[in-house]
Structure 1
Amino acid sequence: MADWFAPKRYGYGGGVPIAWQGWVITLAYVATIIGATQILKTNGWAMGSVIVTATAIFLVIVIKTTRGGWHWRWGGKE
């Protein structure tokens, strides 16, 4: 897979999107969370299920498409 997200300079994880695909995935995730909170506000279990599922899918995509993978970084150039 291509690199859609930059790695964080310090710490563990992915950073900001660096490709249009990363921005599309991020915006789709945000839209899903906002939509779930608006549509399912009376059903907490359903809203929680949608949020947990969307977050898990988003994290898997970010982990697989972060340049250099996820590992601890101390701020040096890679």
Structure 2
Amino acid sequence: MSNKNYWFTSRTYGWGWGLPSAWQGWVIYTVAAAALIAGFFLFPPAREMLKFQLYTWAVLLVLVLICWLKGEPPKWRWGK
């Protein structure tokens, strides 16, 4: 990792990001996980499937957007 300002490191294999490399990244992962769990209570899937799916996709979209902005540039990697 060349820049220590990245919150998320790139994956060793494949495309995308791995575990966070800064405390801010861990906070984002924790908030996203809590938001996904809260979705089960806010929009019970058995009664409100469409709202639950839209909420889940919205949370994941925001997470990917933050990873894109604050993580290493994504590209396909084949290992070290």
Normalising by structure 1, report the TM-score: 0.87
Matched to 1:75, the amino acid is G
Q: Any gaps of 5 or more consecutive residues in structure 2?
A: none
1:39 Cα deviation after fit: 2.3
1:40 Cα deviation after fit: 1.0
% identity of equivalent residues: 28
1:16 Cα deviation after fit: 0.2
How far, CA to CA, are the matches of 2:17 and 2:51 in structure 1?
Answer: 28
Name the residue aligned to 1:22. Answer: 25
Name the residue aligned to 1:5. Answer: 8
Matched residue of 2:18: which SS? Answer: strand
Q: Could you tell me which of 31, 34, 37 is aligned with 1:34?
A: 37
The answer to whether structure 1 residue 57 and structure 2 residue 62 are counterparts is: yes
Question: Across the two proteins, how many residue pairs are aligned to each other?
Answer: 74
Normalising by structure 2, report the TM-score: 0.85
Runs of 4+ in structure 1 over 3 Å off? none
The answer to whether structure 1 residue 45 and structure 2 residue 44 are counterparts is: no
1:35 Cα deviation after fit: 0.2
1:48 Cα deviation after fit: 1.0
Name the residue aligned to 1:66. Answer: 71
How far, CA to CA, are the matches of 1:71 and 1:37 in structure 2?
Answer: 33
